[in-house]
Structure formats: structure tokens, C-alpha cells
């Protein structure tokens, strides 16, 4: 877990005092540093990065990412519209979705963005509607098991994602029937991939298929780079990845004679470590099993620990010199919402401020109004300047789309 480009306890305490808790805080400078790590590692290669915005879609974050030169990878048509709203040009937006009505794909085409198709059914509909008038990519399922756990593994042989590679002959039949211009082959094997050879395996799968398509310009290897949630945890070695990807493409030139541009879709890698989540301690409850620290949030605001059994490093920034003790950190929702069990923290008191690290990816983005609780505010810090980028919900927001009684 890196603390480079980190925000200080004093900065975070001041933000909590001004905007209340719970609150999400994003350090834009850390996002910039992560992107620069990628571009530096891959310097000299024909590689392009599209930020997988499903991790965090606040338009202020999208605008910052776009300002660095990165593209935006979208998983829904509304994410496409948010990227456009944030100022991204259609040519810098990539749209890949699954299980969706064809109307959504048609809308993406009308907006002029890059499109990847995920099923034979929608590929046939695309061919019937657009023929060769609009280039399109194909998301393939490489039948590779990878990722931090099954819920975030997307390339194995039981995954719903992508067209299975063993159906490539059916793909080619549709391409020929409708004269479809396939310009991209896409795979994504999962999230939190530590072994860079997983990406090389995917490349090898694609190189068997590349000669079958005459109009290829791009190979999209997806994302899933691992970041550290615990101190000392293994992460994706981006420099090693760049070296192995470069070597693989050097040894397998495009048989069509045109150089292939490689695309990646980093999401968590870009924003996980930029994010902090601050919550206040409501109550302490002593029991035989544990000392429970009840905080003013729950899985309605940060669902990852309950949904993925994910670990978030937690720190008591109100009492950094307190004697370390063991606690169970729990939320205020009417379900079990344990953030941490048997976790050592500096002595916790009611009213203290707890800080969750690595909260930038899939934190606010997966939040809800469960128990009719308000969604928290979002704050961005850039070059030392603090900006509110989403206000906290009010009661009126709970009634916003409700028809009057």
C-alpha cells in the first residue's frame, strides 16, 4: 500500500470538519501519478489507456482523467454520456457492455464512440443495421481463470462475459454475411491480477485469431491491474508487464502488415489509492466477543468488505498516539455490515474519526440509499485546493423521483 501523494491527517480532519462525515475524499494528484506510471512504463510502445470509469464516475474525476490525456472506458450508455458531459471527445471513449438491448449499442454508434460487442446475437443485429459503415470491436472470452476472486473473474469458461473463443467460426460467418468491419479484438480476464503472465496468455490466445480479421487496428487487453490494500501486498509490476507485452507484440507482428495499437482499461489502478473514506464513531459497545466500534456509515456507503470480503486499512486519525487495541468496526445498517473484525487500532473513543484507505474505486460508485440513509458527499483535492464535487444527500433527494401523495 503506497502512501505517496497521500493526504495528511490534518487535511482530512479539516475536510471532515467542513463537509461532515461520512465523506469520500479523492486526491487528484495520486490519479495523475498512477497514469504517469503507466505512460512511463509503456513509453515507446503503441499503447493507449482508457480509464475504466465504472470504478468512479463523478464527472469531475472524469474531467481530470481526460485532461491528462487518457481515454474513458464505459460499461453503459449512461457512462458514455457522463464522459461526453465531462468533456471527452467521442474518439476518446470506449463502450463495452454485456447483456444489453441492441438499442443501447445503436445509441453508442450514433454518439460516435468506439464500440465493442459482447454476443453473437448483438453482432448479428449490428451487421443487419450497420453493415460495414461503422467499425466495431469484439469482446472475446479467452477461457482463462484469473482475478482476485470468482466474483471479479471475467474470462473463465463459465463467465457471462464475451463471445467464447471457440465460437470464432460463427463470428466469422456473421462478419462475412454482413461485411462487418472488425477493427478491435478485446479480452478482459478479471480484476486484481498480480501475475503479468496472465496478460501474456491472453495475447497468445488472440494471436491465433488475429489473422482471421482483415481490418484490425487495436488489441484491447482490458484491465485488472492489482493495487495494494495491505502493507507489503504484491501488486502488478507495470514495468514487467510493459516489457512482456512489448516482447509479445514484437514477436507476433500483425499478418495484415499494419501495426496494432494495444489498449488497456485500468480502473481500480487509477483511482483506488486516490480515495479516502472518513467516518465518525457513534458508539462503543463492549461484549464478551468483541469491542464493537459503531460508525456513522454502513455497506450502503462502502459495500466491498461485505460483498467481496475485501480488506481496507483503517486508521484512527483522531488519536494516532493511543494505545493499540483490538476492535470490530461495524456500521449502522439493519444488516450485518462488519468492516473489520479483530482489527488493531489506536484506542478508539466515541466521536473519533476513522479513515479507510483505498476507497477511490467501487466505494461511492456502489453506494445506495438503503435504510433511507443519505449518500455521502464527495470532495476532490487537487494541487492542495479542496473542492466539493458532490454534495451530501438531503431528505429532498429521497423524494426526488417520488410522485406526490
Q: Are 198 and 117 in contact (CB under 8 A)?
A: no
362 is known to lie in a ligand binding site? yes
Residue 337 near residue 294 (C-beta atoms within 8 A): no
231 backbone dihedrals φ, ψ, rounded to 5°: -60, 130
Q: Which residues pair with 277 in a beta bridge?
A: 24, 356
Residues counted in the chain: 405
The answer to the question of whether 304 is labelled as a binding residue is: yes
Catalytic residue among 53, 184, 274, 334: 334
User: Computed from CA positions of residues 34, 206, 157, 366, in that sequence, does the dihedral angle turn out positive or negative?
Assistant: positive
Determine the Cα–Cα distance for residues 231 and 340; give it in Å rounded to an integer: 16
DSSP 259: P
- Look at strands 136-141 and 163-164 and give their pairing: parallel
- Residue 221 contacts residue 187 (beta carbons within 8 Å): yes
* C-beta atoms surrounding 104 within 10 Å: 16
* Closest C-alpha among 34, 17, 382, 82 to residue 228: 34
Tell me, yes or no, if 334 is annotated catalytic.
yes
Region of 357 (left: φ > 0; alpha: ψ -120 to 50; beta: rest) is: beta
Distances, alpha carbon 288 to alpha carbons 122, 281, 291, 341, in Å: 57, 20, 8, 14
**In a 10 Å sphere around its CB, with 0-12 CB exposed, 13-18 middle and 19+ buried, how is residue 383 labelled?**
exposed
The verdict on whether residue 335 carries a ligand-binding annotation is: yes
Give yes or no for a contact between 214 and 256, defined as CB atoms under 8 angstroms apart.
yes
User: Are the beta carbons of 325 and 344 closer than 8 angstroms?
Assistant: yes
Cα dist. 242→111, 229, 264, 297 in Å?
32, 23, 11, 40
Binding residue positions for substrate: 304, 308, 335, 362
Binding residue positions: 224, 304, 308, 335, 362
Binding residue positions for pyridoxal 5'-phosphate: 224, 362
Please identify every residue annotated as catalytic. Answer: 334
Amino acid at each position: 500500500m503506497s502512501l505517496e501523494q497521500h493526504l495528511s491527517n490534518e487535511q482530512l480532519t479539516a475536510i471532515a470538519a467542513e463537509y461532515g462525515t461520512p465523506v469520500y475524499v479523492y486526491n487528484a494528484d495520486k490519479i495523475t501519478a498512477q497514469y504517469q506510471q503507466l505512460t512511463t512504463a509503456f513509453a515507446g510502445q503503441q499503447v493507449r489507456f482508457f480509464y475504466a470509469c465504472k470504478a468512479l464516475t463523478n464527472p469531475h474525476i472524469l474531467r481530470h482523467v481526460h485532461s491528462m490525456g487518457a481515454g474513458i472506458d464505459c460499461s453503459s450508455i449512461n457512462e458514455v454520456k457522463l464522459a461526453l458531459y465531462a468533456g471527452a471527445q467521442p474518439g476518446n471513449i470506449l463502450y463495452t457492455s454485456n447483456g444489453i438491448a441492441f438499442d443501447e449499442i445503436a445509441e453508442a454508434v450514433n454518439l460516435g464512440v468506439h464500440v465493442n460487442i459482447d454476443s453473437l446475437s448483438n453482432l448479428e443485429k449490428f451487421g443487419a443495421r450497420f453493415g460495414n459503415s461503422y467499425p466495431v470491436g469484439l469482446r472475446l472470452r479467452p477461457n482463462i481463470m484469473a482475478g482476485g476472486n470468482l466474483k471479479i473473474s471475467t474470462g473463465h469458461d463459465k463467465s457471462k462475459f464475451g463471445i467464447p473463443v471457440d465460437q470464432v467460426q460463427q463470428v466469422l460467418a456473421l462478419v462475412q454475411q454482413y461485411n462487418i468491419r472488425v477493427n478491435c479484438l478485446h479480452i478482459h480476464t478479471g480484476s486484481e491480477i498480480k501475475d503479468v503472465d496472465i496478460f501474456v496468455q491472453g495475447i497468445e490466445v488472440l494471436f491465433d485469431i488475429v489473422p482471421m480479421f482483415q481490418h484490425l487496428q487495436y488489441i484491447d487487453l482490458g484491465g485488472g491491474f492489482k493495487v495494494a490494500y495491505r502493507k507489503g501486498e504484491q501488486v502488478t509490476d507495470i514495468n514487467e508487464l510493459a516489457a512482456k507485452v512489448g516482447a509479445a507484440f514484437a514477436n507476433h507482428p500483425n499478418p495484415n502488415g499494419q501495426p496494432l495499437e494495444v489498449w488497456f482499461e485500468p480502473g481500480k489502478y487509477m483511482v483506488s489509492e486516490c480515495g479516502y473514506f472518513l467516518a465518525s464513531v457513534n458508539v462503543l459497545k463492549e461484549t464478551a466477543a468483541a469491542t464493537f466500534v459503531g460508525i456513522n456509515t454502513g455497506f450502503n456507503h462502502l459495500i466491498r468488505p461485505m460483498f467481496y470480503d475485501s480488506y481496507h486499512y483503517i486508521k484512527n486519525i483522531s488519536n494516532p498516539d493511543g494505545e493499540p487495541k483490538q476492535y470490530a468496526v461495524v456500521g449502522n445498517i439493519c444488516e450485518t455490515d462488519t468492516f473489520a473484525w479483530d482489527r488493531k487500532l489506536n484506542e478508539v473513543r466515541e466521536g473519533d474519526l476513522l479513515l479507510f484507505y483505498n476507497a477511490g474505486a467501487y466505494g461511492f460508485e456502489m453506494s445506495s440509499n438503503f435504510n433511507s440513509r443519505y449518500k455521502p458527499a464527495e470532495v476532490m483535492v487537487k494541487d492542495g485546493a479542496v473542492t466539493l464535487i458532490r454534495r451530501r444527500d438531503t431528505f429532498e433527494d429521497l423524494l426526488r423521483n417520488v410522485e406526490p401523495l
